[in-house]
Amino acid sequence: MRAQQGSELEPIALSKLGQTERGLIIAGPAHPPDPQAYCRAIATLSRLLGWPVLADGLSPLRNHASLNPHLITSYDLLLRHDHHAQALAAHQVLQLGALPTSKVLRQWLQQTDPLRWIVDVRDRNKDPLHGRALAVPWSLAALVAALDTSPSESLRTISPYGQAWLERDASARQRLAAQLTLLPELFEGKLSWQLPQLLPPETPLVIANSMPVRDIEWFLPLNDTGLRPYCSRGANGIDGTLSTAMGVAQNFGRAVLLTGDLALLHDSNGLLNASQRGFHLTILLINNQGGGIFETLPIAAFEPPFEAFFAMPQTVDFAALAAAHNVEYARISSWLLLQEQLATLPDQGIRLLELRCDRKFDAQFRTSLLTAIGDFEI
C-alpha cells in the first residue's frame, strides 16, 4: 500500500496511527543538518504516541540521549531470544527512513509483520521486507505538526508495552557494561562501546562497512557527546572509505574514521591527498588481518579455502604505509594509550592509530557476548 500525496494522506495513512499501545518508532540512519532539532522532533513523536524509539547507531539519537528518555539501543541483543521477541511483538511501527543494519530486527519484523508507516519525504519504497507498509511522503517536521494538533491534551505517557521495552533495554545495557568495563583485550566491540568516552564532543565519526558499522549498532551506548555518525551503506559501501572520511573532515575541519584493515587498504590511495588539505583526520584502524565479517558465515568452518579466499589477510606494514605518505603513525597497545591519543584531536594533518586485534578471538567473543546479554528473564 502506498500513501497518497497532500490532503489524501491524512485519512489514508494517519487515521490508524497510534491506535494501539503496542507501537514502536524505528529511527534508522540519518545525517540531519541540525541533529538536536531532529532528536527533539523524534522525542515529540515518542511523547505524542506513547511509543519507545529503537535508535540506530547511525542516527544522532544515541548521542543526544538526554533529549529523549524512551530510547532503546539493545534491540538486536534482546530479539535474539524468543521470550523477548514474543513479548515485545509490535502491532504498529513508525519507521523513519531506512531500516537499521540489524538482521535480527529485520527478521523479527518479517515474522511479526506489524503495520508500518515508512516516513520519507522523497516518497521512495524503503520496505525491503515487502510487508504491510504505507509510505508517508512527508518530512519529519510535517508529520510532527500533523500529529501535534493539541499539545496540551495529546501528549501521552509511555505505554506499558513501551515500558516493557525500556526495562529490558536497561537490563541488557547494564549487563553489557559489566562485561566490557573490565575487559583488558583490544576487542573490536569494546572500541565502539568506548568511543563516546574517548572522543571530544561533537566529533564527526565516519564508520566503515562490514564489522565496524555492526559493532556501532550493537555496542554504541547512550551518551550526550553529540558525536555525528556517517557511513556509506550498500553493496559498494566499502568503496572510497578513506576518501569519504577526508571529505567529512574537510567539511567540519576534523573527523575520525573507524575502519578495518581491508576497507582502509581498498582506498589507501586517498592518502595521496593528505598533504593538500587543511583539516585533521584521525584513522582508528582495527587491524585484525582480514575481513572479520566473514567469520560469521558458515564457510568460516572450512579451511581451506576460508583464509585465502574469504578472510584474505594482507601482510601490509601500516607504519611503512603511513611513512610513505608522511602520515603520523602510532601503535595502540592498551585502552589507556588510546584514551591519551584521543583526548584532544589535532587541528591539521592525518594520523593513523593502529589497534591490532585477534580476528578469531573477537569473532568468538562477540558471538557469545551478543547471545549472553539478552539471555535473562524479566
**Tens-digit pLDDT string for the chain (378 aa):** 333 333 334 444 567 788 899 999 999 999 999 999 999 999 999 999 999 999 999 999 999 999 999 999 999 999 999 999 999 999 999 999 999 999 999 999 999 999 999 998 886 776 889 889 888 889 999 999 988 875 544 567 899 999 999 999 999 999 999 999 999 999 999 999 999 999 999 999 999 998 999 999 999 999 999 999 999 887 677 889 999 999 999 999 999 999 999 999 999 999 998 777 789 999 999 999 888 777 888 888 889 898 888 878 888 999 999 999 999 999 999 999 999 999 999 999 999 999 999 989 999 999 999 999 999 998
pLDDT digits (tens, 9 = 90+) for 231-248: 988 767 788 999 999 999
CA dist., res. 115 & res. 111, Å (int): 12
- Angle of helix 188-198 relative to helix 211-219, nearest 10 degrees, comes to 60
What would the grid cell of residue 359 be?
A: 580476528
CB 205 within 8 A of CB 255: yes
What would the grid cell of residue 233 be?
A: 551503506
Other CB atoms within a 10 A radius of the CB of residue 232 amount to 17
Cell 509483520 belongs to 113
Q: In a 10 Å sphere around its CB, with 0-12 CB exposed, 13-18 middle and 19+ buried, how is residue 81 labelled?
A: middle
**Could you check whether 6-170 and 184-373 share the same CATH topology?**
yes
Q: Say what the pLDDT of residue 153 is.
A: 45
Fold of 6-170: Rossmann fold (3.40.50)
Domain boundaries of the chain, sorted by first residue: 6-170, 184-373
pTM of the model: 0.92
CA dist., res. 360 & res. 232, Å (int): 26
Q: Say what the pLDDT of residue 150 is.
A: 52
Domain over 184-373 is classified CATH 3.40.50.970: yes
- List of residues 6+ apart from 81 with CB closer than 8 A: 374, 375
Cell 567540519 belongs to 252
